[in-house]
A and B are shown apart, each in its own frame.
Chain A
């Protein structure tokens, strides 16, 4: 694209792009987020391109590979615009049929439509799919409208108009005031008011100020920042440039983990495009603003998501946090005033500027405004990324958007906030989801991970999982965090192996207090949360493991035995064939038996049995 010298030229270019585009021209959009990639969307896109070429239809329809649409469970997802016909689980073989039936004859293909799980009704339009209906996709929704590698697409949907508005109509102080009034809180986990942070950084003395985008998302199962950066990098970059103007910074960094190759690629392409057209570099839009952004790839240490560890890593040192008695807004990267915000926080900024504080603050609760993107994973039917207004209940997210629990399972708990968060029991799923409420019940917002657990999930095992993660991901500097989390892991591991002793729960609580009170950074300070919240709400499960040597959920292998119900067993021999440890014996017409000594409790027999004859006791 040609260089844009002033805000008027930006508007002119936008008009040109829109004039060239016919909104009624059919467009095949293929989700190319990481989830759909895993399902093979690239081959689907290739099949569509080949089919269009073969039939010579290049002029009559467009094809667009977009960012993540969120409904990863049903990928590869294809949406036919302008009607927004929603096809799921599309294979390369379907491409020809979709073109001939849907695009050329205007009829839908039933087999590829989403079936309503309760009513069995076929749903045609994307907006009518229950997964999308309960959402408010003001930030994430644009992912499906644009090709993240094309700046024209972002400009076509109003991109960089917020930046132009700020540079021509707002003083830096007015930008800060706007962000403060919007009550935007940091989406990385802390929930600190972004406007206040910006103001402190602007006011901090120093010849140089930095802005940083924290894209070191590392919570297990969470991938919302990844999908934003992959699917709409320009929204994040626009937020950063606005922030740089407000704070008075001429240099920014994006710290993104190298395990996110598509995010690294797409944000790199976006930055190159911005430089080419003069929206990054010197004299941006002819307004005198100079700002440059560099991408720094992280090595994948979880602790580098902590702001001071991230800055140490950027400086080329080991990613280790330092004490924050002097805040990073005063002395951060290379001891200069530094403002760090998370990917999603930056992406909120252009939205607040363009749609206004009044609109933004109309969404959400008293203390948490706007929307939040969650990665909804675990034992839930509709796995994917969901954007919901703050204040929505967990029940709505899990049951309405998430489509409930698969199989005949019952919801037991929801884990939010990643390894530092906690488990919220089913009895509390009607609480409104916002920063303060989640903290109040012993969990936290975190960056937006939401793991659904059903009645077959052992809460002690869950605590063990997170402790295992944390003991490995602690930087290892503080005695309390390094040795404390390791000792907590050892205790919980012992409990799951039937070696729990009276006093273990109390010792865990005692350790938790010290680890959280005496550790340096947020990783250590919040590390005991998974243990504390599971003890708080599921103490009886801990006690069953310790006192009765029993795992109520039937998960902890040392505490369970597999038994074949002799009445139900038809001696079909299926279980015997799949058993990897040859633990099952039995002849034809004689009900089978499992040797508990040989059984490794892998569950293969249960999955294979057609008569529900194998029990876990």
Chain B
């Protein structure tokens, strides 16, 4: 076990954990947009900054990718932390003025109207969609494109992502809700990636329940499951 302090309270953690997950687990409030417990920490949004003292050195750093180290002291809401966080929120609000999650943060941190020209973007480039697709589901259908101020997320070469199974994990995880899913009896579309796949009907009840291609993908990557498992809907399995 590793012992260190957060805002003066002694906490214990397992080696290999990061500061943010420990802090959240112990009930400390650190805002974050690009961190998810099911994914590897990425450190893109910079909201989870904290002041970490290790030895004689104190510095501002993101807590999501800072490994727990014996004896460090973490401060989650110093003047510097708040100053940095407010600017990050202001930058994100200028980028995505209509994103509810960003607007809520701005209210919480008393960030008024951004001093920068407002964009009308809806994506904060947290990369959760890209990571959940690659790390958890596996098709690796979307990626970061471009760099610097022209960076965005999308299918490689911005053409119909051939490996996307339209599972909707990206839709589910997106904090700004900018990835939409449309579905009817016949097909499902992930609007942002321009991916439309035909639906399969359940062999038992005849209800349309998931895209064909998705079920074939699952059939391929799973072993030891009866062959007709993927032909039945969730209720009939």
* B30 close to A (CB within 8 Å): no
Give which listed residue, B45, B92, B117, B148, contacts A475 with CB less than 8 A. Answer: B148
- A61 to B147, alpha carbons, bound, how many Å? 53
Q: Is the CB of A479 within 8 A of B46?
A: yes
Q: Is the CB of A482 within 8 A of B125?
A: yes
* B146 close to A (CB within 8 Å): yes
- A475 to B149, alpha carbons, bound, how many Å? 9
Known contacts A483-B91, A514-B84; is-contact A474 B149 (Cβ 8 Å): yes
Known contacts A323-B65, A325-B66; is-contact A318 B144 (Cβ 8 Å): yes
Q: What chain A residues lie within 8 Å of B127 (beta carbons)?
A: 477
Min CB–CB distance A338 → chain B (angstroms) = 19
Q: What chain B residues lie within 8 Å of A127 (beta carbons)?
A: none
Q: Is the CB of B43 within 8 A of A478?
A: yes
Q: Is the CB of A472 within 8 A of B149?
A: yes
The residue of chain A having its C-beta at the shortest distance from the C-beta of B80 within the complex is A517
- A511 to B88, alpha carbons, bound, how many Å? 10
* A507 close to B (CB within 8 Å): yes
* A490 close to B (CB within 8 Å): yes
- A476 to B143, alpha carbons, bound, how many Å? 13
- A477 to B147, alpha carbons, bound, how many Å? 8
The contact string, 1 if C-beta is below 8 Å from chain B, for chain A 318-354, is 1010110110000000000000000000000000000
- A486 to B149, alpha carbons, bound, how many Å? 7
Min CB–CB distance B105 → chain A (angstroms) = 12
* B133 close to A (CB within 8 Å): no
Please provide the chain A residues from 443 to 486 with a CB less than 8 Å away from any CB of chain B in the complex: 470-480, 482-486
Known contacts A471-B149, A483-B94; is-contact A478 B87 (Cβ 8 Å): no
Give which listed residue, B46, B92, B117, B146, contacts A490 with CB less than 8 A. Answer: B117
* A520 close to B (CB within 8 Å): yes
The contact string, 1 if C-beta is below 8 Å from chain A, for chain B 36-54, is 0000001111110100000
Give which listed residue, A301, A322, A473, A514, contacts B88 with CB less than 8 A. Answer: A514
- A507 to B117, alpha carbons, bound, how many Å? 13
Q: Is the CB of B44 within 8 A of A477?
A: yes
Q: Is the CB of A301 within 8 A of B83?
A: no
Q: What chain B residues lie within 8 Å of A472 (beta carbons)?
A: 147-150
Q: Is the CB of A475 within 8 A of B147?
A: yes
Interface residues on B, range: 35 or more
* B67 close to A (CB within 8 Å): yes
Known contacts A473-B147, A475-B148, A490-B116; is-contact A480 B87 (Cβ 8 Å): yes
* B115 close to A (CB within 8 Å): yes
Min CB–CB distance B26 → chain A (angstroms) = 20
Please provide the chain B residues from 18 to 74 with a CB less than 8 Å away from any CB of chain A in the complex: 42-47, 49, 60-62, 65-67
Please provide the chain A residues from 514 to 528 with a CB less than 8 Å away from any CB of chain B in the complex: 514, 517-520
Q: What chain B residues lie within 8 Å of A513 (beta carbons)?
A: 83
Min CB–CB distance A50 → chain B (angstroms) = 48
Q: Is the CB of B148 within 8 A of A471?
A: yes
Min CB–CB distance A61 → chain B (angstroms) = 52
The contact string, 1 if C-beta is below 8 Å from chain B, for chain A 363-379, is 00000000000000000
Q: What chain A residues lie within 8 Å of B124 (beta carbons)?
A: 479
Question: Can you report 17 A-B residue pairs in the complex whose CB atoms are below 8 A from each other?
Answer: A322-B65, A323-B66, A325-B61, A470-B148, A474-B149, A476-B149, A476-B150, A479-B124, A482-B125, A487-B116, A490-B117, A507-B115, A511-B87, A517-B84, A518-B49, A518-B62, A519-B46
Q: Given A479-B44, A482-B151, A518-B60, 9 more contacts at CB 8 Å?
A: A473-B148, A474-B149, A477-B151, A479-B46, A480-B87, A484-B91, A485-B149, A486-B149, A520-B43
